[in-house]
Amino acid sequence: MKTDKAPSKNKTLVTKLLFAVVGMFAFGFALVPLYDVICDITGLNGNTNNLAAQAEAGEIIDETREVTVQFIARENGGMAWGFSPSATQVRVKPGEVNMISYKVTNNTDQVMVGQAIPSVAPNAAAGHLNKVECFCFEEQVLQPGESADMPLRFFVDPALPADISKLTLSYTLYDITEKSSKLKAVAAR
């Protein structure tokens, strides 16, 4: 009769299903790096490279066109810092290295740590804006009332699709004082 075999059959089936459950749980976590990889490859979400690009000496400069790069700066969630770019937009030739700076001021009476996160619009351009030097690569520690000029050196990849003539680089500054490892180092000194 069928039911005689049922316990061992159940055991095999339940084992398989439990593997599926564990597998799907792991898959949920695997989606996190997968999501980053997909966003990096496609430039979705305005993700830009988080690593300094090498400005190759022989980088070909495309003299035939100019593109506009706009800069946006905002503080997240009412963070009491001043944060603004030195220019709201510049015209650049693809391939040439440009530099602008962002001014930050800590308007509070406490030592704070900020972290700027970049985002590029439109998405299709995100992979073509290369930062040679960027303050967003590291945390910024500011004493009460202190100001700093933070440099950004970048170039637009000549491979930028021809239909894009304007890109927007947006920085959001986050208060990471509580989470920062740097502040602990400062405090320990």
Partner 1 sequence: MSTSAALDHSHDHHHGPAKGITRWLFTTNHKDIGSMYLWFSFAMFLLGGTFALVIRAELFQPGLQFVDPSFFNQMTTMHGLVMVFGAVMPAFVGLANWMIPLMIGAPDMALPRMNNWSFWILPFAFAMMVSTLFMEGGGPNFGWTFYAPLSTTYGPPSTTFFIFAVHILGASSIMGAINVIATILNMRAPGMTLMKMPLFVWTWLITAYLLIAVMPVLAGVVTMMLFDIHFGTAFFDAAGGGDPVLFQHLFWFFGHPEVYIMILPAFGIVSAIIPTFARKRLFGYDSMVYATASIAFLSFIVWAHHMFTVGMPLAGQLFFMYATMLIAVPTGVKVFNWVATMFRGSMTFETPMLFAIAFVVLFTIGGFTGVMLAITPVDFQYHDTYFVVAHFHYVLVPGAVFSLMAAVYYWLPKWTGYMYDETLGKLHFWLSFIGVNLLFFPQHFLGLAGMPRRIPDYALQFADFNWISSVGGFLFGFSQLILLFVVIKCVRGGKKATAQVWEGAQGLEWTVPSPAPYHTFETPPDASLIKAQ
Q: How far apart are CA 158 and CA 94, in angstroms?
A: 5
Task: Give the integer Cα–Cα distance in Å for 58 and 61.
Answer: 9
Rule CB under 8 A: choose which of 37, 41, 42, 159 binds partner 1. 42
CB under 8 Å to 128, separation ≥6 — which residues?
A: 156, 157, 159, 160, 161, 167
Q: List strand residue ranges (DSSP E) for 93-163, in order.
A: 98-106, 112-121, 129-134, 140-142, 147-156
Q: Which is nearer to partner 1, 64 or 181 (CB)?
A: 181
Using CB under 8 A as the binding rule, whether residue 65 contacts partner 1 is answered as: no
Stretch that binds partner 1, among 30-38, 63-71, 146-154, 160-168 (CB under 8 A): 30-38
CB of 71 to partner 1, least distance (A): 18
Single out the residue of 70, 76, 89, 98 in contact with partner 1 (rule: CB under 8 A): 76
Among 90, 111, 117, 164, binds partner 1 (CB under 8 A): 117
Binder among 50, 110, 147, 165 for partner 1 (CB under 8 A): 50
Find the binding residues for partner 1 in span 145-184 (CB under 8 A): 172, 174-176, 179
Question: Residue 43 in 3-state DSSP?
Answer: coil
**102 close to 171: Cβ distance less than 8 angstroms:** yes
In a 13 Å sphere around the CA of 71, the CA atoms on its Cβ side amount to 20
Query: Which spans of this chain sit near partner 1 (rule: CB under 8 A)?
Result: 1-3, 6-7, 9-11, 13-14, 17-18, 20-25, 27-29, 31-32, 35-36, 39, 42, 44-46, 50, 76, 115, 117, 123-124, 172, 174-176, 179
